[in-house]
Structure 1
Amino acid sequence: MPHAHSFSANYCKMGNTEELDLVVIGAGSYGLAAAKTFLEVNPSASIAILDSEETIGGVWAERKLYPGLKTNNMLGTYEFSDLPMDTATYGIKAGEHISGEVVHRYLKDYARKFGIYSKIRFQTKVLSAEQAGGEGWLLTVTKGFSDKDALKTSEVLAKKLIVATGVTSDPFLPRFSGSESFGAPLFHTGDFKEHAGTLESAKTVAVFGGTKSAWDAVYAYATRGVKVEWIIRESGHGPTWMAPPYVTPLKRWLEKLVHTRFITWLSPCIWGNFDGYSRVRSFLHGTAIGRTLVNTFWGILGNDVKTLNKYSSHPELAKLEPWNDAFFVGASGISILNYDTDFFELVRNGTVSVHIADIEGLAPKTVLLTKGERLKVDAMVCATGWKHRVALDFLPKDLDLGLPHHTTSAPNAHTKQANEEILSRFPRLKQRPAARPKYVPLTENKGISDEDLAPPEETFEPFQHYRFMVPPSTIRDRNIAFTGFQLTISTTIMAQAQALWIAAYFSDKAGAVAIPADEEEVRYEAVLHNRFGRWRYPEGFGVIPDFAFDAVPYLDMLLTDLGLDCHRKRGLLRDMFSPYGPEDYKGLVGEWVSRVKR
């Protein structure tokens, strides 16, 4: 581990350095839950939440609430356990998807109710975090957005630091050949609201990408009568899986389905045995009969979605059929049709034209495709994802915090051992999808570039955090944690569980959270769990944890670490077949506080 700087030797000369017990970077769902929980456990602590936006919410900040934005979740599944999102207060009825405006309001209410809204410092960006010996982390921050304000830097010493900026805070906007002559609005979906005027002014727009954000942009324009030229890369991952809210022949609510313990058994999961049903999992994934049952389930689920969407009924709809196997798709590759009207009718009636092609470059108000097509447009929207990195510098530079990075090193012993364990326990994962012969990473496409590209001989190492939260190298320091750096459809219950785990980890109470005494065991588990994502969800990003059907066993694992009961239902049958939701995790903090006081 790199030598830690001594705070007293290096920083005490800065007499105006503010000292706080806890600093949380990010005021989205995860950051708010982390701050609220830490303050609940430590009522007298001095804390601050630093956020670069002007308003609360993270991805639900006011600046990002583009027209028509809704959650994939319906009422009852996107709320914290201790603040129900009731219809009387928020106007959302049962069976309705939640608008972005309501989520923003809800998060503001949550922060105010639990006394953390006043702790938020808006328009405050953290530039760097320097390890300050046993004192914590010295943060260099700027206030405001203007050039003048940007010069006003200050320092904050955080005894404990939680990074909650998440994986959707730094938009990736490719640089296209010829973009300087495009002469029309060209923007990322993250900046859609700032360009909402194009919904009225544009006659034709190009939407680039096949993710849910692309579908949202297509719908927003097409429902206003704007012609949409939808470009999905021929060399990419193809269209995302778009499922109706209710799936399978039994018409089960998808959000509830993925949180039903019985269904989670049908998903190979390296941390799955924490639910106590290891024999069931061993049968399903370790025997030929079991794997046949598993394959049958995933086949039914995938075919049901395709049938309900009627892809084969129209040549343009056929272009939107997913290219990958539903079994290998994580949360990043599946979404919900949460639109007020029939999305597919916009394709059938010609308002939306789908182009399976790559972009050659741009010309004045023209998108040039590799198949020779020239699309005349008045604007172009890019649904090209996010940079999978933490948008601040950690010092010293050689500090190993388990963050994604480029490397030329050969796989280490832990990686090899993890691969062997994963494939031994789950032979089905050996049958990975065949490589697409035309696949090329977005930033290597002809006509597209990015200044952050690494040399092609390098490989990219993903996050390597214990429990997806703590760098193994700092596991004994107990002063830094990352929350929300995974993609799931279980945001609120995941946020509050991680918040309690981190609060316990930061605590000096004996037995607060179970962590292996052997640091090598910690390092191996971090590699094992993160490496599992590469095998289980190869259709995902491969850099960040990305899972859908594995959320309940992940929560089981965290609660077990905390010494709490992970079986929250009354009766065996309810535990197995009744879906878990926010209501089942109510009172976790109180349970943990009572346990450690005994």
Structure 2
Amino acid sequence: MSEHLDVLIVGAGLSGIDAGYRVGHERADRRWAIFEARDAIGGTWDLFRYPGVRSDSDMTTLGFPFHPWRGEKAIADGADIRDYIRDTARTFGIDRHIRFRHRVLAADWSSRDARWTVTYEVDGQTAHLTCSFLYLCSGYYDYRQGHAPTWPRQSDYRGTIVHPQHWPEGLPVAGQRIVVIGSGATAVTLVPALIDRGAAHVTMVQRSPTYIVSMPARDRIAATLRRHLPAALAEPAIRWKNIGYGIATYSLAQRRPTFVKRQIARQQRAELGEGFDIATHLTPRYDPWDQRLCLVPDSDLFRVLRDGSATIATGHIAHFDRDGVVLTTGETLQADLVVTATGLTLRLMGGATLSIDGTPIDPGQHMLYRGAMLADVPNLAFAMGYTNASWTLKCDLTARFVSRVLDRMAADGSEIVVAAAPPAEVVDTPVLDLSSGYIRRDQALLPRQGRRAPWRTHQNYVRDALTMRRRLDDGVLRFTRR
């Protein structure tokens, strides 16, 4: 007989460890496990090893509210984040429930049995188990490969080409002329980090600019609060300060985009001087937060642009040649190393296929209820973070909500919970509503959202926190038995 679990969590990154705490911690009566396809805890923060990899939001909100981040840096290095996630899992005994090298391949819901049959692979062998509730915390991008476009005559190039998602250990950069293709968070992180590792020169090649703002790597207000207040008061105060600041700046950008654009340009001009061509290299065609803003700690990118050790080339790549990259303007960028920081490839549910009684489920054809459950799909939750704030903020709200749902089912003997989509609800946009390239390329894969609650995903933590605490009997969520 195959094993049966009450809850199966898929993924041991930030959202999976959070889910393990909320769903399984101190619940000795609940049989649960976390399946992790790789052989380590940490998700994104264990996978990415390129120079300078770090958080793109403050660690107080990216961290777990039940195990606050107490490092000095507000913008932390990837290795420190990985260690923090592992320490959290160990502190609360979550690591004892993780099964490594367990890759979920498929899950089929049986209406007759009210359970999922999960097919997974472990060490090259296929196996099965059943679970009453399936909780997907495996992120939204493909861990196997990033987006890797090709260019004409790329095979002529004599140097090395590497994608940041698969950075080779020990890759030499000192003394190298490096071209970084891309302008997102990875690219703006790599450029100063490569200079600090001794690169001779780094050129960031972008088709179009991204909004880039600087913030202090260390939060002085947080340090003051920790120095003068007990931890039980300081940590919530710091957390809510950062949540409030994030909501306020995002709201301002939505209401007064022109003003925010001017403020960003003013900061950049103060950093780079009047001689830098901000209009060409740092002024996007879209409004702030139509795509995610890039944060740089302590102006590190502006520093290397200002001293000339790095430059930005804005334009299109015509082709490669033996020595580097040739732009459509005719300019040749000589390079010993080309880094293709060209983005992610979307891949939901870790690549697993879902079905109900053998009929495949296409997430792109379902709305997402409260940002947590696919409409008309029983006993399934889905962790999806914010696009304008820390990933963990929304994932923790989802985990708390799932915990409430499971407790309710245990209390009244329900075996099935499903969010029933009303036929009149207008399906509007993908749940990730940014205009970023990696979302536009594969947006048909994403769950949809409606135009009103509870089918609309708000990019506002306070609003969502209030919504998630509302009663479960809302006329949409239905609890039944077989």
Range class of TM-score, shorter chain? 0.7 to 0.9
TM-score (norm 1): 0.63
2:274 pairs with 1:313: yes
d(CA) in 2 for partners of 1:225, 1:300: 38
Tell me which residue corresponds to 2:215: 245
SS in 2 for 1:231: strand
> What residue number does 2:202 align with?
228
Q: Would the alpha carbon gap of residues 369 and 315 (structure 1) be closer, same or farther in structure 2, given more than 3 Å must change?
A: same
Q: Does 1:138 align with 2:117?
A: yes
- Is 2:463 the partner of 1:553? yes
Displacement of 1:21: 1.9
CA–CA separation in structure 2 for the residues paired with 1:386 and 1:471:
23
1:376 aligned onto 2:334: yes
Structure 1 21/96 Cα, relative in aligned 2: closer, same or farther at 3 Å?
A: closer
Equivalents in 1 of 2:84, 2:92: separation in Å? 12
Amino acid at match of 1:166: G
C-alpha spacing 1:157/1:518, structure 2 compared with 1 (3 Å): closer
Q: Secondary structure at the match of 2:24?
A: helix
Counterpart Cα distance in 2 of 1:77 and 1:377 = 39
Unpaired segments of 5 or more residues in structure 1?
1-14, 87-91, 145-149, 270-293, 405-460, 564-598
Q: Distance in 2 between matches of 1:560 and 1:548?
A: 15
1:174 corresponds to which letter in structure 2? P
Give the secondary structure class of the aligned counterpart of 1:161.
strand
Q: Which residue of structure 2 lines up, in the alignment, with residue 288 of structure 1?
A: none
CA deviations on 1:181-228 (whole Å, 9 max, x unpaired) are 434332222223x2552323x611111111011111111112234211
Q: Distance in 1 between matches of 2:247 and 2:336?
A: 50
AA of the residue aligned to 2:88: Y
Which whole-Å CA distance do the structure 2 matches of 1:241 and 1:43 have between them?
48
1:357 aligns to what? 315
Q: 2:376·2:418 contact (CA, 8 Å) conserved in 1?
A: no
Structure 1 position 469 matched with structure 2 position 364: no
Q: Which protein is richer in strand relative to its size?
A: 2
Q: What is the one-letter code of the residue matched to 1:484?
A: M
Task: Name the CA distance, whole Å, in 2 between partners of 1:547 and 1:346.
Answer: 39
* Distance in 2 between residues matched to 1:349 and 1:254, nearest whole Å: 36
Cα deviation code 1:508-534 (max 9, x no counterpart): 157999x99993438827x35x46865
**Matched residue pairs, number?**
431
1:329-351 CA-to-partner distances (Å, cap 9, x unmatched) read 25x52122214x64223223332
Q: Residue 66 of structure 1 aligns with which residue?
A: 50
Q: Name the SS of the counterpart of 1:159 in structure 2.
A: strand
**Residue-by-residue CA offset, 1:405-438 (whole Å, 9 max, x unaligned):** xxxxxxxxxxxxxxxxxxxxxxxxxxxxxxxxxx
| C-alpha distance 523-137 of structure 1, shift in aligned 2 (>3 A) | farther
Shift of the 335–261 alpha-carbon distance from structure 1 to 2, 3 Å rule, reads closer
Query: Does the residue aligned with 2:67 lie in a helix, a strand or coil?
Result: coil
Q: 1:259 aligns to what SS in structure 2?
A: helix
* Structure with the bigger percentage of helix: 1
Q: What whole-Å deviation, never above 9, does each CA across 1:478-504 have from its counterpart, x for those lacking one?
A: x21110255342233322211011223
Query: What are the within-5 Å matches in structure 2 for residues 443-454 of structure 1?
Result: none
- Give the whole-Å Cα distance in 2 for the aligned partners of 1:498 and 1:382: 34
Q: Is the 8 A contact 2:52 2:190 kept in 1?
A: no
Q: Which residue of 2 aligns with 1:191?
A: 166
Q: Which residue does 2:68 correspond to in 1? A: 84
Partner residue of 2:32?
47
Matches of 2:307 and 2:176, distance apart in 1:
16
Instruction: Give the match for residue 225 of structure 2.
Output: none
**Matched-pair contact (CA < 8 Å) for 1:167–1:485:** no
Given the alignment, which residue of 41, 55, 60 partners 1:56? 41
What is the TM-score normalised by the length of structure 2?
A: 0.77
Distance 2:282 2:107 in 1: 45
Which residue number in structure 2 is paired with residue 182 of structure 1? 157
Query: Alignment partner of 2:173: what SS?
Result: helix
Distance 1:373 1:554, change over 3 A: same
**Offset at residue 354 of structure 1 (A):** 1.6
Match of 2:177 among 184, 200, 204: 204
Asked whether the 8 Å contact 2:107–2:116 carries over to 1, the reply is yes
Residues in 1 aligned to 2:424 and 2:31: alpha-carbon distance in whole angstroms? 32
Distance in 1, Cα, partners of 2:396 & 2:211? 28
Cα distance in 2, alignment partners of residues 183 and 334 from structure 1: 34
